[in-house]
Copies of this chain bind each other. A is one copy, B any other.
Amino acid sequence: MSKSISIFDTTLRDGTQGEGISLSADDKLKIAKKLDELGVHYIEGGIPGSNGKDIEFFKRVQTLGLNAKITAFGSTRRKGSIAHQDDNLKRMIESGAQAATLVGKSWDFHVHTALQTTLEENLAMIADSISYMKQQGMELIFDAEHFFDGYKNNPEYAVSVLRTAREAGADWLTMCDTNGGTLPHEIYEIVSRLNLELGGAPLGIHTHNDCELAVANTLSAVQAGARQIQGTMNGYGERCGNANLCSILPTLQLKMDYTCISNDQLSQLTNTARYVSEIANVHMPVNQPYVGNAAFAHKGGIHVSAILRDSRTYEHIEPEKIGNKQRILVSELAGQSNILSKAKEMDLILDPENENTKQIIGKIKDLEHQGYQFEGADASLELLLREANGEIKELFVFESFKMLVEKNAGSAVVSEAFVKLRIGGESIYTAAEGNGPVNALDNALRKALVEHYPNLREMHLSDYKVRVLDEADATASKVRVLIESQNLSNTWSTVGVSANVIEASWEALVDSIRYALIGQALPDQNVSNGPSVHGIVNH
């Protein structure tokens, strides 16, 4: 049998059924692009017509020119109706998607209880809907809902549902463990039998994690002959989630000799998983298998000394293969070597024995303890290191800022900011409005600086994130702000931390501008091309 596996990603559809996961049309487009780069073969984008943002997604995704097949999800026609008059099917066709996933019942109990129709009418609903969609030229994936419960209860009927779908022209027959209650050995047995009975029809598998077995169930189905996998990034999905592609892809490819995506693409897995978690704004558990920050983290003691002798002693794969990396926790050595290697990336040579280097490493560790996070704020880290190296001159002398938000009944909220600072001998005082407090501050600060630093006009903020660090203290807790900025050629990130969200934002804003002007802020240098990690600085 072929060892090629077709990957069907439903992060944008079933993934959004997870509690706390909500994606805008823009979010969905960003994720779709990233999934396409990872190399998944199908991207299920949503349910056309269920809401405005899915309609928008299907329209805009066509302009992206992705390799993956964009797929629309929907149910078979309603009972007692006609397929070509079904609004649902019509909207799927109009969505412009290349493929359609049609979900139908395969558990007799569900046909009676949920659909409240006859077993025959259910088969007719499936056959009619599939034939009609195939006539429209769409590739068709048939999702047999509750297939395993159905098979256990009435195997003949469950199989007749798949046969009907196949005869009507379905390209893939996907067996869904919709409730997530089936066990790996049951999946293996049932899929093996099906594979025989249906003479090698193209089978797919869709599992849920209610017993913490979604990954194992998917692997069992593949071993029994399934060749398409439905899953989501980070296992997002209804209730306990869907099968986690971030765990399934590396296991199939690195340990079981199947081919899903290229090895280059696989090395983008960690990066993709973290990107999706950022966009979905869902915190990634530190202990997430393969792609989590602790997946290859070793605490002190025996493990660490063995790891230093040979990584294979405590690592089941090379983390680089999936783009993750080894971390040594609670170790002076680790912190220091990370910082030194970061400095090296910037062409900064820091001598680890030097008192100055020790001081800056101590300072960075102390800031991290306070809640700063430099992994997502390279530019702030670079500023700290260059500053310690004596490379950075002050751009301006801060005197004060004031920020006022005012709302009166019946009128829109107003945000104003006032910034006072000195450049050289000159005192500057500016005021600006904004559509929010941070926007007002940003406007006032730029106004103050732009006369002296005109290439600030070329940069803008491209992303703004707020994390509450110690949620138990409610409004008295600390806040971390991450700001991403951009000019024509570069993107950079900065961080600020404070109990006050405005102060934290101010800190990140100032760092962003300092980094943008890094060339001008250096001694003996008057010209700048904007930020660049290499090339501007004299060493």
Contacts and interface: CB of A to CB of B under 8 A. Distances in A.
A114 B407 contact: no
Contact of A462 (B212, B235, B474): B474
A424 interface: no
A443 B442 CA distance: 27
Given A178-B314, A475-B505, 16 more contacts: A19-B287, A19-B299, A20-B376, A184-B216, A212-B289, A212-B290, A213-B219, A213-B247, A235-B287, A238-B298, A238-B300, A401-B407, A404-B404, A434-B475, A435-B500, A463-B471
A48 interface: no
B500 A238 contact: no
A525 B503 CA distance: 44
A71 to B, nearest CB: 17
A465 B477 CA distance: 10
Given A185-B223, A219-B183, A295-B239, A290 B406 contact: no
Contacts of A500: 405, 413, 415, 435-437
Contacts of A505: 475
A212 B399 contact: no
A107 B136 CA distance: 59
A407 B413 contact: no
Interface of A: 16-20, 22, 24, 26-27, 30, 47, 50-53, 75, 109-110, 113-114, 178-181, 183-185, 209-213, 215-216, 219-220, 223, 235, 237-241, 244, 247, 250-251, 255-256, 279, 281, 285-290, 292-300, 302-303, 305-306, 309-310, 312-317, 329, 331-333, 365, 368-369, 373, 375-376, 397-409, 413, 415, 434-439, 442, 460-472, 474-477, 479, 483-484, 498-503, 505-506
Contacts of A26: 470, 472
A302 B19 contact: no
6 contacts: A20-B286, A20-B375, A22-B368, A114-B306, A212-B215, A413-B502
A185 B251 CA distance: 13
Contact of A404 (B296, B402, B477): B402
A399 B474 CA distance: 26
The 3 closest A-B CB pairs, nearest first, are: A181-B316, A216-B216, A461-B474
A433 to B, nearest CB: 12
Given A313-B113, A406-B403, A500-B437, A295 B468 contact: no
A464 B471 contact: yes
Contact of A17 (B300, B463, B474): B300
Given A405-B503, A464-B468, A240 B294 contact: yes
